Amino acid sequence: MRKIIFAILAFYVAQTEAQPRWTAMQCMQYAVEHNHEVRRAELELDNYQVAKTSAAGRFLPAVDANIGAQYNFGRAIDPETNGYTNVSTFYNGYSIQASLPVFDGFNRLHALKAAKASVLMGHQALRQQQDQTALSVLQAYVNVAYEEGMVRMAQEKLQETELLLRQTRLLEEVGRKSGADVALVESQYAEADYEVTRQQNLLAAALLELKKEMAYPVADSLAIVVPVDDAPSASHESGLSDFHRHDVLQPFCSPVHPALQQAHYLVETSKHEWNQARASLYPTLSLSAGLSTTYYKTLHTQTASSFGKQFNNNMGEYVGVTLSIPIFNRMQTVSNIRKAKNNYQMACEAYEQKHAELEKLSREAWLDWQGYLKQTVQMEKKVEADSLAYLLTYHQYEEGLSTAIDLYTTSAQLLHSKATLLQCRLMAMVKEQLVRYYQGITIWTE
C-alpha cells in the first residue's frame, strides 16, 4: 500500500513539474484581467463616462417633432368657420420645435466639469482596485510559496528521520543502541510523516485561496514558481525576479497614489456640484423656435382642399425668448446649496484623512521591509549555526555521545530556523512591493 501511495505522489509531482509554472507577475496580471471587483470598477467607470457625455449634450439644442391625428364626430368646432358643426371631421397636425438655453448661471458648465472629474475619479478607482487585487494575489502567491517550502522541508525531514531510523535499528542489532532509542526514533518518524501530511493540506488550502483571488478555475491545476530556491543574501537587494526594479525607494506616499488621487477628484467633483447648486439662484434665459402645420377635412364631402395645399397654406413659424427668474421655491435651492457645501467640506476632510493614513501606512511598510531584510541576514547566520550544531550532534549520536532526544531537539531547531528564514525572505519581497505600491508604482505591469 505504501508503494502505491508513493507511486501516486510521484506521478502527481511529475505532472505538476511538467506543466508550466506561473510567476507572481503572471498571477497578478491574470487576476487583474479576470477579477470580479475589477470588472465592476470598469463598469462603474463606464457609467461616469456616460454621465460626462450626457453633461456635454446639454450644451446642444433640444429638438422635438410631433404628429397628431384627431377624429371628431358629433358637435364640434369647424376650424374653417370657427363655428359649431355636427358633421364628422378629421384633423391632422404636424410640428417641430427647438430650444436652447442661453444662460443658466453656468449650471451646465459646472455639471460638465463635475462629470469630467468623476471620470478621472473612476479611472483612479479602477487602478486602485487593480492594485488591491494584485496585492491580494501577491500575498496569496507568497503563502503558496511558503507552504511549498514547508512541504519540501518536511519531506527532507522525513527522509532524514527514515535514514536515522534504519541506522538506529542497525546500531541496536550490534548492541550500541537500546530498544528505547529505536522506539523514540520511530516516534520521531511518525511525527515527521504526520507533519508532511499536515503541510500538504496547508499547501492545498493556500493554493485554493490563490485561485480564488485570481478568479482562476478551481478545478484546473496551477503551479507557481518558488522565488526563493536560490535567493541571494538579504544584504543585497531582494525581490521577485519578474518584478521591474527602481533605483530608490523612500518611506513616503506619492501624491499620484490612486487612492489619494481618487480622494482628490472627489473634492473636485464636490466643488463643481456645489457651484452647480448655487447656479440655481441665477435667472435662466432660453431661445426657442418651431414650425407647425395642419390638415383638416370634413368627412363624407368632397369640398376639402388637398393635403399638400393645406400643408403649405397652414404652415406657421415662431421664435421665442424665455426669461425665468427664481423667486421662491420653498427653500429647496438654499437647502441644496447647503448640502452641496457640506459634501464639499466632507470630501476635503476625507482627502486629508486619506493622505495622513497613506503616509502612515507607507512608512510602516518601509520599516517592515527594512526589518525583514535585517532579520533575513540574521536568520541566514542562525541557519548556518544550527546546521553545524545538527551535524555535530548527529556525529555524536553515531558515536553514542548524544541521545535521540538531543538529535531531535537540534533537528527541530534547524527546521524552525529554515522556516523562519523562508518566511523572512518572502515577507521582505512582499513589503518591498508594498513600498512601491505606496509610491504610486504599478507592480503588476512590466
The three-state secondary structure class of 85 is strand
- The pLDDT of residue 1 is 44
- The pLDDT of residue 248 is 52
Using CB atoms within 10 Å of the CB of residue 429, give its burial: 0 to 12 exposed, 13 to 18 middle, 19+ buried: buried
* Rounded CA separation 176/172 (Å): 6
* Rounded CA separation 431/164 (Å): 40
Q: Which pTM value belongs to this model? A: 0.80
* Rounded CA separation 38/31 (Å): 9
Q: What is the mean pLDDT of each run of 10 residues along the chain (446 residues)?
A: 46 55 92 93 96 94 92 72 75 92 93 96 95 94 94 92 87 81 88 93 95 92 73 40 51 84 96 94 94 84 78 90 90 93 96 94 92 94 93 84 84 92 93 91 82
CA distances from 55 to 275, 286, 418 (A): 15, 17, 61
* Rounded CA separation 157/336 (Å): 71
* Rounded CA separation 165/189 (Å): 7
Q: Which residue matches cell numbers 368657420?
A: 81
The three-state secondary structure class of 253 is coil
Whole-number CA gyration radius for the chain: 39
- The pLDDT of residue 237 is 39
Strand-strand pairing, 316-324 and 62-72: unpaired
- The pLDDT of residue 352 is 95
